[in-house]
């Protein structure tokens, strides 16, 4: 955390981080959630430094996925547009991630992955949702290459 604060849920553990706390490593396949901490009149910004490994495949949560997801959230929240679950599912599917359903739901992670593929990849993209956007991507060529490999995304790779 560079500025402000964040709430992080890692498995069953909840953390509240500020710039003084240092960094946290989130291992692959760890159920996690990161949301900005409370803002105030004196603290209007939250800045977090994320790092990720270099992508080794087409569906991997890497820098391209992170920057599109967080820039989408920033735009949706700052412009009071609301968050579109199909857009989130589309981005999560492209990043090899999924929403975290409650633990009491049987097979919650498998069900979450199926929801991501069916609604995010198939339905969302048929309705025009993209996993990557040019205005949010610093590496648009890689984003286009990834989208060109999927029949549901090819039309977005030409823009």
pLDDT at 54: 66
Contact residues for 80 (Cβ-Cβ < 8 A; gap 6+): none
Is 55 contained in some domain? no
Order of strands, sheet of 13-17, starting from the edge strand that comes earlier in the sequence: 13-17, 6-10, 32-36
DSSP 75: H
Same domain, yes or no, for 35 and 67?
A: no
- Position 53 pLDDT exceeds 70: no
Structural domain span for residue 66: 60-157
In degrees rounded to 5, what are phi and psi of residue 6?
-140, 150
- Token reading at 94: 């492209």
Same domain, yes or no, for 96 and 128?
A: yes
Q: What does the DSSP assignment read for 95-135?
A: TT------TTSTTHHHHHHHHIIIIIIIIHHHTT--S--GG
- Nearest-10 Cα torsion for 63, 66, 67, 73: 180
Same domain, yes or no, for 65 and 41?
A: no
Is 127 contained in some domain? yes
Contact residues for 139 (Cβ-Cβ < 8 A; gap 6+): 63, 64
- Position 84 pLDDT exceeds 70: yes
pLDDT at 55: 61
- Position 74 pLDDT exceeds 60: yes
Same domain, yes or no, for 15 and 83?
A: no
Of 121 and 77, the structure prediction assigns the larger pLDDT to 121
| Number of domains into which the chain is organized | 2
Same domain, yes or no, for 23 and 93?
A: no
The SS3 of residue 149 is coil
In degrees rounded to 5, what are phi and psi of residue 42?
-95, -20
- Token reading at 69: 């997801």
Is 91 contained in some domain? yes
CB contact burial 107-146 (16+ within 10 A = b; e otherwise): ebeeebbebbeebbbeebbeeebbbbbeebbeebebbbeb
- Position 59 pLDDT exceeds 80: no
């Amino acid at each position: 955390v560079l500025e402000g604060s964040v709430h992080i849920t890692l498995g069953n553990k909840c953390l509240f981080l500020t710039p003084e706390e240092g960094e946290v490593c989130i291992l692959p396949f760890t159920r996690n959630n990161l949301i900005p901490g409370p803002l105030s009149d004196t603290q209007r910004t939250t800045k977090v430094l994320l790092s990720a490994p270099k992508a080794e495949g087409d569906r991997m949560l890497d820098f391209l996925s992170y920057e599109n997801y967080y820039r989408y959230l920033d735009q949706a929240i700052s412009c009071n547009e609301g968050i579109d679950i199909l857009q989130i599912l589309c981005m999560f599917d492209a990043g090899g991630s999924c929403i975290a359903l409650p633990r009491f739901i049987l097979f919650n992670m498998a069900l979450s992955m199926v929801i991501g593929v069916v609604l995010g990849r198939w339905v969302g993209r048929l309705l025009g949702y993209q996993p990557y956007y040019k205005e949010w991507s610093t590496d648009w060529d890689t984003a286009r290459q990834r989208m060109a490999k999927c029949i549901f995304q090819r039309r977005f790779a030409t823009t």
